[in-house]
Amino acid sequence: MPTSQTVARPVEDGLTADQLHSFLHQMLFIRRFEEKCGEMYTRGKIRGFLHLYTGQEACAVGSFATLGEQDKIVTHYRDHGHAIARGVDPNRIMAELFGRVDGLSSGRGGSMHLYDTSKGFLGGYAIVAAHLPLAVGLGMAANMKKDNSLAFCVFGDGSVAEGEFHEALNLAALWKTPVIFFCENNLYGMGVPISESLSTEITTLAAAYNMPAVKIDGMDVLDVYRETQKAVEHCRSGQGPYFIEAMTYRYRGHSMADPELYRLKDEVEDARRRDCIARLRTHMQELGLIDDDSFAALQQRVDEEMDEVVAFADASPEPGLDTLFDHVVKESVRA
């Protein structure tokens, strides 16, 4: 995970300049990581379904900055950005995408199924909305163990129509489990616009379960940070779940296989004009925290980091065929 340049000045929103630099670095890192993945997919190094996070970086970076080490994260298949923002080793992520032995799961999981329990990163889930009930269970365990942790659950707008969305929100609110439901509304579930997928507003629905539900600007990392902080406080103080709808946009197709017949180029261009990285950069420029040269240096650094990531992944060997049957079940010690 990228570390931040140190600039010892306090700035707005309780954030230090350090943190802003870190946000910028992380977002840029995720952006490049995803672009690199796209390239590696084209070159056949990555296979299967590949869903890129480009455009949505502010969501993961802004929100995860508010979490503690004890917190548990579950997300969907568009999960590279979340893993990176959580501090999972990008080398091991890329190695996983390459299907190699140094991958997070030694190449067993692939892009849609990333796990790093050492970081409380409990997975990317490829069945839409299936991880929402899991988050409720993580929250139940937190309440039972009184370990002050919360479950942070990321999903897309398209997932809201699934039955498990309803079951999970109801259970979480009913049992007051500490879960932040973080919906990244990028306006589409594959090719279906949210207006054709839901009869109502996402936050209207979420609020109906008796939990706070806010709509925020998911292209503004600072807004995401501020609003998620409130959610974290709410959960930590035992008040139960909290719902955030972050308005965002994905620049690439749904997956690498997407012919993008359902939206116009213009719409994508419009969104790019609100780009989260450009926005933070301008903001930091206004604050005098960064200039063109230092931004270029940062870009350069990220590019170099990316080369290392790819080199690491590529150097890692394929898993042995003799491992095929490992970990189907966990051997259980007789108690």
Partner 1 sequence: MPELRYRDALREALREELIRDDRVFLMGEDIGAYGGSYAVTRGLLDEFGRDRVIDTPIAESGIVGAGIGAAMAGMRPMVELMTINFSFLALDQIVNSAAKLHYMSNGQINVPLVIRMASGGGSQLGATHSHSLEGLYAHFPGLRVVCPSTPADAKGLLKRAFRDENTTIFIEHTALYGMRGEVPDDPDYLIEFGKANVLREGTDVTIVGYSGSTWQAVRAADMLEEQEGISAEVIDLRCLRPLDIDTVIASVKKTNRAVVVEDDWQFGGFAGEISAQLMEQAFDWLDAPVARVCGKDVPLPYNRNLEFAALPSEEDVVEAVLAML
Ligand X SMILES: Cc1ncc(C[n+]2csc(CCOP(=O)(O)OP(=O)(O)O)c2C)c(N)n1
* 27 sits near partner 1 (criterion: CB under 8 A): no
Neighbour-count burial of 329, counting CB atoms closer than 10 A to its CB (0-12 exposed, 13-18 middle, 19+ buried): exposed
CB of 187 to Mg ion, least distance (A): 7
**Residue located via tokens 């992520």:** 93
* 131 sits near ligand X (criterion: CB under 6 A): no
User: Which is nearer to ligand X, 37 or 142 (by Cβ)?
Assistant: 37
Within residues 36-55, the interface with partner 1 by CB under 8 A covers: 47-49
User: Which is nearer to Mg ion, 110 or 189 (by Cβ)?
Assistant: 189
CB of 238 to partner 1, least distance (A): 14
* 315 sits near partner 1 (criterion: CB under 8 A): no
Q: Do 35 and 55 contact (CB within 8 A), yes or no?
A: no
User: Which is nearer to partner 1, 140 or 232 (by Cβ)?
Assistant: 140
* 311 sits near a copy of itself (criterion: CB under 8 A): no
Residue 57, Cβ neighbours under 10 Å: how many?
A: 29
Q: Which structure tokens are listed for 186?
A: 């990028």
Within residues 142-181, the interface with ligand X by CB under 6 A covers: 155-159
- Contacting ligand X (CB under 6 A), which of 174, 190, 257, 311? 190
Per DSSP, what are the bridge partners of residue 125?
A: 76
Q: Which structure tokens are listed for 53?
A: 């996070």
At 268, give phi and psi (nearest 5°): -65, -40
E-only strand ranges, 236-290: 242-247
What DSSP state is assigned to residue 127?
Answer: S
Stretch that binds a copy of itself, among 44-52, 190-198, 218-226, 308-316 (CB under 8 A): 190-198
Applying CB under 6 A, which residues contact ligand X? 78, 126-128, 155-159, 186, 188-190, 254
